[in-house]
Chains A and B, each alone.
Chain A
Amino acid sequence: MTETRDLIAARVRADPGVHFNELVRALDLAPGQVQYHLRRLEWVVAADLYGQTHYYPPGYDADERRALALLRRETAADVVAVLLEAGALPATDVAERVGIARSTLSWHLDRLTEAELVRDDRDARNRVVLSLVDPEGTARLLRRAEPSTPGRLVDRFTRLVDSLLAE
């Protein structure tokens, strides 16, 4: 009983931003069980982001919660990793380094710029140049973000479709 609750608590602490289905699948529990214990765990913060309910341990503010939900997407994490390494980089170079179609990059960028993780500026030649708004803070969150297997599959599927349709 409390053992199950401890398992759920440990998972939320280890994987901030974990979503409901993932808890059910990873811990091999009934959805009702997970729901019951989550309600009993008063320190767990729930947030509806991008069509899923994510669960967080305390200590993350609303911006950080949203950033974690985004960085759990493999491709978004790849984009951020390239920018951490390169600093500021033209968008076309970012797409090339990550190995994704421009349409894939632009879809992820919409969310990353909206969440104010990534800034897009124009250089003298009117190219879009990307950089991180807060490299240190984002790097810290990136280390905590762990994509789920279904999330990874969907991400790779969209990468494949975009690149097939692009050329």
Chain B
Amino acid sequence: MANEWVLAVVLALGGVGSAGIVGLALVALVQRRSVPYLLVTLALVTLGARAVVGAFSLLGMLSIPTHHTAEHLLDVLMAGLVIAAVYTARSARRSAAAADRGYGGGEDD
């Protein structure tokens, strides 16, 4: 099946790419040590998890319905994590602005 080869290559590329970007996110997380960065890192981990789920179903270890459910569950998780990251970044900024009026407080004409 030529199709399976294409899928295997795409999955491998996706796996390597997401591993690289998770690595970047982890270094950034170590530097920043903040909740938004933790959530962004986890969101990127779900991207890698999709590749893992794909590989399992390619190897016949997951049925197609289970595979679909898992992939869409990861979508929901990723969207939730990104929304949470944006939300926590906003509240962190607001408290920082309150603590340090005059810088980043948005009080510039």
Query: A: which residues have CB within 8 A of B?
Result: 51, 91-92, 102-103, 106-107, 120, 122, 126-128, 150, 153-154, 157-158, 161, 164-166
Contact of B31 with A128 in the complex, beta carbons under 8 Å? no
In the complex, which residues 27-75 of chain B have their Cβ closer than 8 Å to any Cβ of chain A?
27-28, 30-32, 36-37, 40
Known: A153-B24, A161-B40. A51 touches B30 (CB 8 A): yes
Interface range on chain B (Cβ under 8 Å from partner): 20 to 34
Known: A154-B24, A157-B24, A157-B28. A165 touches B36 (CB 8 A): yes
Provide the bound-state CA to CA distance between A161 and B103, in Å. 20
Provide the bound-state CA to CA distance between A150 and B104, in Å. 29
Known: A51-B30, A166-B93. A161 touches B37 (CB 8 A): yes
Q: A residues within 8 A CB of B103?
A: 91-92, 102, 106, 120, 127-128
Provide the bound-state CA to CA distance between A35 and B30, in Å. 25
Provide the bound-state CA to CA distance between A75 and B25, in Å. 17
The 21 listed contacts between A and B (C-beta, < 8 Å) are A91-B104, A92-B103, A92-B108, A103-B93, A106-B96, A106-B103, A120-B103, A122-B102, A127-B103, A127-B108, A128-B103, A150-B27, A153-B24, A154-B24, A154-B31, A157-B25, A158-B31, A158-B32, A161-B40, A165-B36, A166-B93
Chain A's closest residue to B109 (CB) is A125
Provide the bound-state CA to CA distance between A157 and B30, in Å. 13
Residue A158 contacts which of B28, B102, B104, B108 (CB distance < 8 angstroms)?
A: B28
Question: Is B85 interfacial (CB 8 A cutoff)?
Answer: yes
Provide the bound-state CA to CA distance between A51 and B27, in Å. 11
Provide the bound-state CA to CA distance between A164 and B85, in Å. 10
Q: B residues within 8 A CB of A165?
A: 36, 40, 85-86, 89-90
Between A106, A154, A158, A165, the greatest number of chain B beta carbons within 10 A of the residue's beta carbon is seen for A165
A37 to chain B, nearest CB (A): 27
Provide the bound-state CA to CA distance between A51 and B103, in Å. 28
Contact of A126 with B102 in the complex, beta carbons under 8 Å? yes
Q: A residues within 8 A CB of B90?
A: 165
Q: B residues within 8 A CB of A51?
A: 30
